Amino acid sequence: MAAESTIDALGQFELHPVLGQIGEALRFSQSPLFMLIAVVLVLAFLYLGMRPAAVVPGRLQAAAEIGYDFIHNMATDTIGEKGTAFFPFVFAIFFFILAGNYLGLVPYSFTFTSHIVVTVSLALLVFLVSILASLKAQGMKFFAHFMPEGAPVFLAPLLIPIEILSFLSRPVSLSIRLFANMMAGHVLLEVFAGFTLMLAGLGLFGPALAVAPVAINVALTALELLVGVLQAYVFAILTCIYLREAVAH
């Protein structure tokens, strides 16, 4: 790799079958593998943390409880009284994305949240759940939301398409925000890592200069840690907001 003069920033997103022929047949790539790892890690965190079930929690239990309380408060504060019903869903969304984002920062791992089909699937799941919840809670009144209250009737031909468009754009923005953030971050990391290799091969002063991109990558990793939790939070809080609109009234 070091000798190559071009940087293959996108190669990290390629999907390869896991376990050779079996993975090929089952269409099982590193992406589902890391989903599985993420899920197992989150569940292990919860189960190992809560195993003592102590009244006075230890560190791991306190961490698990903080995670629980954080999402629980988010769900109940944002969605309202009915938030408890959606709490496991929001919890699953948040920790699935968070674990995916953070796992991607481990060298040699794979970031499944950098795949648009994954983020779109998640966004459509949220979209679908909020529509179903809305139809269940409000029935046909759900469609009344596409006409803003108090707006003049003659504006309806203009407002209704806009409202429908903004409603439909929700899963698009939701999925692309996460996908673009994760992909951009990893491309940047790869590009600067490539710079390091290229500079290191430049002869006498190369290795000294190569420190700079490493330093940048350290900073970028810190930024990515922030972005990882921020994007998971944004996804979860938007899910809560959509669900609040769905169950309100």
Partner 1 sequence: MRLPSRNLAASLAVALALGAVPGRAWAAGMPQLDFSNPLLLGQVVWGAIIFAVFYGILSRSALPRIDRVLTHRRNRIEGDLDIARRARDDADRAVDELRRARHDAAAQAQANIDRVVQEARMAADAQTQEMNRRLVSDIADAEKRIASAREEALASLPAVATETAQSLIEKLLRPAGLDASVSRARIQDVVQAGLSSSKG
> Using the rule CB under 8 A, is 120 a contact of partner 1?
yes
> Using the rule CB under 8 A, is 175 a contact of partner 1?
yes
User: CB of residue 157 vs partner 1: minimum separation in angstroms?
Assistant: 24
> Using the rule CB under 8 A, is 4 a contact of partner 1?
no
Please list the alpha-helical segments (H only) found in the chain.
21-26, 30-50, 59-79, 83-103, 116-138, 156-200, 206-209, 211-247
Report the distance separating Cα 177 and Cα 137, nearest Å.
29
Question: Where in 154-173 is the site for partner 1 (CB under 8 A)?
Answer: 171-172
For partner 1, the binding residue among 75, 101, 104, 112 (CB under 8 A) is 112
Task: Give the count of alpha carbons within 13 A of 119, CB side only.
Answer: 28
> Using the rule CB under 8 A, is 60 a contact of partner 1?
no
Query: Which of left, alpha, beta for 18 (phi over 0: left; psi -120 to 50: alpha)?
Result: beta
> Using the rule CB under 8 A, is 130 a contact of partner 1?
no
Instruction: Answer for the pair 193, 213: CB distance below 8 angstroms, yes or no.
Output: yes
Report the distance separating Cα 110 and Cα 158, nearest Å.
45
User: CB of residue 47 vs partner 1: minimum separation in angstroms?
Assistant: 7
To which residue do tokens 């099982």 refer? 28
Determine the 3-state secondary structure of 71 from DSSP.
Answer: helix
Report the distance separating Cα 129 and Cα 127, nearest Å.
6
Question: Where in 209-238 is the site for partner 1 (CB under 8 A)?
Answer: none
C-beta of 44 vs 212, nearer to partner 1: 44
For partner 1, the binding residue among 7, 28, 142, 230 (CB under 8 A) is 28
> Using the rule CB under 8 A, is 26 a contact of partner 1?
yes
User: CB of residue 154 vs partner 1: minimum separation in angstroms?
Assistant: 30
Interface residue list for partner 1 (CB under 8 A): 10-11, 13-17, 26-29, 31-32, 35-36, 39, 42-43, 46-47, 50, 53-55, 61, 64-65, 68-69, 87-89, 91-92, 96, 112, 114-118, 120-125, 128, 171-172, 175-176, 179, 183
